[in-house]
Structure 1
Amino acid sequence: MIYYAVVPMELAFFDESQTPLEEVEIEGVPMLVRKHNEREKTIVRLLSADPAHYLDPRFQPGLRISL
């Protein structure tokens, strides 16, 4: 099935059982993260307008980070 929408996939297929997303800024890069515990989060989506941030392997969606 192909689904075309102007809204982000996270909003179109919202599942209330998932942890809510939190907007944070890490090293100057704004992103949405999913919180696992107080120290660990998973990057869900980058919100940056700078294309170089999307090429940086430190900010790949799905990457688990410690704060």
Structure 2
Amino acid sequence: MIHYTVLPLEVVLEGIEQMEDTSIQLTVNGITMQVQPINATQASIIRITSCNPQHYLNPQYSPGRIIEFQPVI
């Protein structure tokens, strides 16, 4: 991604060290995806990381959708 700005790089990236990435990678129905957990059994899809192009065409797994999953203990 390219970001054009008149601000100095130090201002744009200020606080990036404190950012915490809480996303996790799941495989649901054979589709590998990166999700943002909402609670213990639900997550919001951030992106699909599968290599199969057919997985990207399934509207059930589009970014922003809420999915149910069973945590592995």
In structure 2, distance between residues paired with 1:40 and 1:26: 12
TM-score (norm 2): 0.67
Unmatched tracts of structure 1, length 5 or more: 5-13
Residue type of the partner of 1:27?
N
Residue pairs, 1:1-67, within 5 angstroms: 3=2, 16=19, 20-67=22-69
Kindly state the Cα deviation for residue 47 of structure 1 after the two structures are TM-superposed: 0.5
Kindly state the Cα deviation for residue 40 of structure 1 after the two structures are TM-superposed: 1.0
Superposed structure 1 runs of 4+ greater than 2 Å apart: none
Give the CA RMSD over aligned residues: 2.1
Unmatched tracts of structure 2, length 5 or more: 4-15
In structure 2, distance between residues paired with 1:16 and 1:59: 26
In structure 2, distance between residues paired with 1:60 and 1:66: 14
In structure 2, distance between residues paired with 1:39 and 1:51: 27
TM-score (norm 1): 0.72
Equivalenced residue count is 56
Kindly state the Cα deviation for residue 39 of structure 1 after the two structures are TM-superposed: 1.1
